[in-house]
Amino acid sequence: MLRFRRTVYCDNNATTRVSKKAQKAVAGLLGRCYANPSSPYRMAHEAAGILADARVCLAKAVNAPPETLIFTSCATESNNSLRAIAPFLPPDKRAILYNPLEHPAMLETLFHLERQGFSLIALKPDRQGRISPEEMACAWREDVGLAVCMAANNETGTLYDAKAMAAVAHARGALFFSDMVQALGKIPVDLLGSGVDYASFSAHKIHGPKGVGALYVREGAPFAPFMLGGHQEEGRRAGTEGLHNIAGFAAAAEDVPLLLAGAGGLCRRRDALAAALRELTPDCVVNSPSGTECQPGTISVTFPGRANAVLMGQLDYYGISVAAGSACNTGEDAPSHVLTGMGLSPEEARSTLRISLAHDFSDKDLRYVVAIFDDVLSGKGDTVTAVQPSRLTPEMFFAPDVFIIDLRRTPKTDYTLKPLPNSRRFPFFSIGKHLDEIPKDKHIFVTCEVGYDAPIIAYYLRRKGYRRLSFLMWGILGWKLTRPELYARFAGNGETQDDRQNSGEEHKDG
Ligand code: PLP
């Protein structure tokens, strides 16, 4: 029981806790300094000064001249800036060599450029996501004008040598763009020393606020603004600066040396966790590289035969937040492109968790996480029954004491995956507000679209005191694929138990 008292956040590659210092900087500014930094009068001078100071702070953290840094709304925007940069490539250099394990913020930008007529050449990562500068040189083609490779992978922590890759690109007369979002605060970032032409950063990955990022443009590198409008950021990014967020980013950036100083301890706890997991389940596979080839704090682990969605739900039940490393927030059941790009099968990708630790992860947290993994993996922990889609029959969804929850992430109703009959729709993100509509005296059967949300909510309901619970494995999509005839007949027909009793159908299904 004591175990419920602990909350251990292990998803720091998704976002980090906002530091006290960053919170203070944001709140202080919101209350005090609201003038527009672009305005000419005296009141705005303080705002302009804060903006300039913030740029200097970030510049120190990444070793770059302040004027080469442009504040943006997030790293996604910084990566999207490539859409305005790529047109500078000469007509005979319109191919882009890229790491296929990039974050979607970069990948989708590249795919957009491909639709605009640029050609893409994917590099070939190994089983741990690594790509060496030599491999980049080997894959080079005459028509490559730009190379793109992140400095640290968000799903595995795999590190890439930005300096050597920039040198490969420059030696061939090309530009080099590096997404450094997951590198800042984890490994030293030295923009001038590395020679990269463009780099992106995000405040919320280094304990700063959300909604602010930065783009580095090397002095002299071709550039056109992606956001058009006013003359902010020296005409390089239109839009009134979110000064409070920028001040929070600067406060977080000031602490980058502290984060780097703690990297050794973080590596030690990461390695201890990996070793403990290997001891608990010798067949688990750590996908991240080891030692200095991996960002401190990140491990990607495959637990063969275990659905990551269920593990996530079970760990969440015990207060531990981890990521599935999969496109679990889309309407599709696409396994992680990073993991499959490294050679994992879709099944292995769906059995993989990403655990990303921050500096506040203590030895006590480590012991707790290992103890809970032990309970969960050995089956000693509290469990909710998982119903395989092949076992879902009409008797189950029309059983008199079953209450079926149909979880949806958006309020739209033109579902691609139709709900089970006799089910009630509930919003995934705010189901907590609807607990009084979920009866405690019935068996609660939780369903969702593609399989990630149902276990999380089933275990959440367990925590809320519901005892008779089960959930549909692999979601309605899994059921549709396993029992297409039942899906075609029943899904989305809106039939209720009462309709069924009135029509006497229940006797016909056998
Ligand atoms: N690039 C990488 C490697 C990331 O991990 C993320 C966020 O997860 C982003 C870009 C996007 O950052 P933001 O949330 O600031 O748009």
Best residue for ligand 1 mutational test, from 72, 76, 215 (most atoms within 8 Å of Cβ): 76
Cα 435 to middle of ligand 1, angstroms: 34
What is the CB < 6 Å shell around ligand 1? 74-76, 103, 105, 150, 154, 179, 181-182, 202, 213
Distance 103 CA to ligand 1 centre (A): 7
pLDDT in tens, 4-39: 668 999 999 999 999 999 999 999 999 889 999 999
- Which ligand 1 atom sits nearest the alpha carbon of residue 105? 10
Q: Which atom of ligand 1 is nearest to the CA of 14?
A: 8
Q: Check residue 503 and give its pLDDT.
A: 63
- Ligand 1, residue 76: give the atom nearest the CA: 16
* Residue 150 alpha carbon, nearest atom of ligand 1: 3
Confidence (pLDDT) at 332: 58
Question: How far is the CA of 139 from the CAs of 96, 121, 169, 337, in angstroms?
Answer: 11, 8, 11, 21
* pLDDT band at residue 501 using 50, 70 and 90 as cut-offs: low
* pLDDT class of 215 with cuts at 50, 70, 90: very high
Contacts of 414 (CB under 8 A, 6+ apart): none
For the chain, the average pLDDT equals 94
Ligand 1 midpoint to CA 507 (Å): 54
pLDDT of 506 above 70: no
Tens of pLDDT, residues 425-435:
999 999 999 99
C-beta separation of 422 from 404 below 8 A:
yes
pLDDT tier, 414 (very low <50, low <70, confident <90, very high otherwise): confident
CA of 181 to the centre of ligand 1 (A): 6
Please tell me the residue having the least CA distance from ligand 1 atom 12: 75
Name the residue with the closest Cα to ligand 1, atom 8: 14
Q: Which atom of ligand 1 is nearest the CA belonging to 203?
A: 15
Residue 327 has pLDDT above 60, yes or no: no
Residue 3 has pLDDT above 90, yes or no: no
Q: Classify residue 196 by burial, with Cβ atoms within 10 Å: 0-12, 13-18, 19+.
A: buried
If you write DSSP's letter for every residue of 203-231 in order, what string do you get?
GGGTT--SS-EEEEE-TTS----SS-SS-
CA–CA gap between residue 336 and residue 128 (Å, rounded): 14
Rounded Cα distance, 147 and 120, in Å: 10
User: Nearest CA to 10 among 301, 260, 289?
Assistant: 301
Please enumerate in sequence order all residues whose Cβ is within 8 A of that of 333, keeping only pairs 6 or more positions apart, or say none.
327, 450, 451, 474, 475, 477, 478
Average pLDDT of the residues in 107-114 = 98
Q: Whose CA is nearest to atom 7 of ligand 1?
A: 14
* Ligand 1 atom nearest to CA at 182: 3
Percent of the chain whose pLDDT exceeds 70: 94
Which residue of 13, 73, 103 sits with most ligand 1 atoms within 8 Å of its CB, as the best mutation to test the pocket? 103
Say how many CA atoms lie within 13 Å of 428 toward its Cβ: 19
- Closest ligand 1 atom to residue 202 Cα is 15
pLDDT digits (tens, 9 = 90+) for 373-404: 999 999 998 899 999 999 999 898 889 999 99
Query: What separation in Å is there between the alpha carbon of 302 and the centre of ligand 1?
Result: 23
Q: How many angstroms is it from 209 CA to the middle of ligand 1?
A: 13
Q: How far does the centroid of ligand 1 lie from the alpha carbon of residue 105, in Å?
A: 7
CA of 77 to the centre of ligand 1 (A): 9
- Nearest residue to 382 (alpha-carbon basis) of 314, 444, 445: 314
CA angle, 148 then 151 then 157, to 5°:
125
Q: What is d(CA 323, CA 484) in angstroms, rounded to the nearest whole number?
A: 30
Distance from residue 380's CA to the centre of ligand 1 (Å): 37
* Rounded distance from Cα 55 to ligand 1 centre (Å): 20
Amino acid identity, residue 454? Answer: A
Beta bridge partners of 95: 119, 144
Q: In this predicted structure, what is the pLDDT of residue 168?
A: 98
**468-497 pLDDT, tens digit each:** 999 999 999 999 999 999 999 999 887 766
pTM of the predicted protein model: 0.93
Q: Which of 182, 212, 245, 329 to mutate to test the pocket of ligand 1 (most atoms within 8 A of CB)?
A: 182
* Pocket mutation for ligand 1, best pick of 106, 180, 202 (most atoms within 8 Å of C-beta): 202
Active site residues: 328
pLDDT value at position 499?
A: 65
State which of 153-167, 321-335, 387-401 shows the largest mean pLDDT: 153-167
pLDDT-based confidence at residue 508 (cuts at 50, 70, 90) = very low
For 60-106, write each residue's pLDDT tens digit.
Answer: 999 999 999 999 999 999 999 999 999 999 999 999 999 999 999 99
Using CA positions, which residue lies closest to atom 5 of ligand 1? Answer: 154
Which atom of ligand 1 lies nearest, measured to the CA of 78? 16
- Which of 226, 218, 206 has the alpha carbon at shortest distance from 176? 218
Give the model's pLDDT for residue 510.
34
Encode pLDDT of 450-474 as tens digits: 999 999 999 999 999 999 999 999 9
Better pLDDT: 121 or 331: 121
Asked if 205 and 184 touch (Cβ cutoff 8 Å), the reply is: yes
Return all residues near 501 (Cβ < 8 A) that are at least 6 apart.
none
